[in-house]
């Protein structure tokens, strides 16, 4: 098994616990300041990681793009659900989520391209 297959398998196994932690963090009934920069950085970082893992686990391509769209929608849904747990719904949080998804997907795209390049050079 090559590094690309190991990476995809590891990303798949890491994605689910990471998603559970993000859901827990988003639905915990603490109410940070809606303009708190640290909170936006946490949102960005969480969705960056989820998106990068999803992109690698799905192997990129059309499935990777669909995974990114799904994460953006999921982040928006969690923002709406926050209203039911005593937190404020924040458009700025969803913007940070979306930026994290896009940048994480690009990082995953780069990682897959690099892995394929390394794998093809080893085959030579």
Q: What are the residue ranges spanned by the domains of the chain?
A: 3-21+36-123
39-82 pLDDT, tens digit per residue, is: 899 999 999 999 999 999 999 899 999 999 999 999 999 999 99
86-115 pLDDT, tens digit per residue, is: 888 889 999 999 999 999 999 999 999 998
Burial status of residue 19 (CB atoms within 10 A of its CB: 0-12, 13-18, 19 or more): middle
Among 7, 15, 24, smallest CA distance to 54 is for 15
Among 110, 109, 112, 103, smallest CA distance to 48 is for 103
């Amino acid at each position: 098994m090559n590094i690309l297959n190991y990476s995809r398998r590891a990303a798949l196994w890491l994605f689910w616990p990471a998603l559970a932690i993000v859901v827990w963090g988003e639905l915990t009934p603490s109410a940070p300041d809606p303009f708190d920069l640290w909170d936006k950085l946490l949102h960005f970082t969480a969705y960056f990681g989820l998106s990068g893992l999803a992109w690698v686990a799905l192997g990129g391509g059309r499935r990777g793009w669909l995974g990114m769209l799904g994460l953006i929608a999921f982040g928006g849904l969690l923002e709406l659900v926050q209203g039911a747990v005593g937190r404020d719904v924040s458009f700025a949080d969803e913007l940070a989520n979306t930026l994290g998804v896009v940048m994480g997907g690009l990082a995953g795209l780069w990682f897959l391209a690099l892995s394929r390049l390394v794998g093809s050079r080893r085959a030579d």
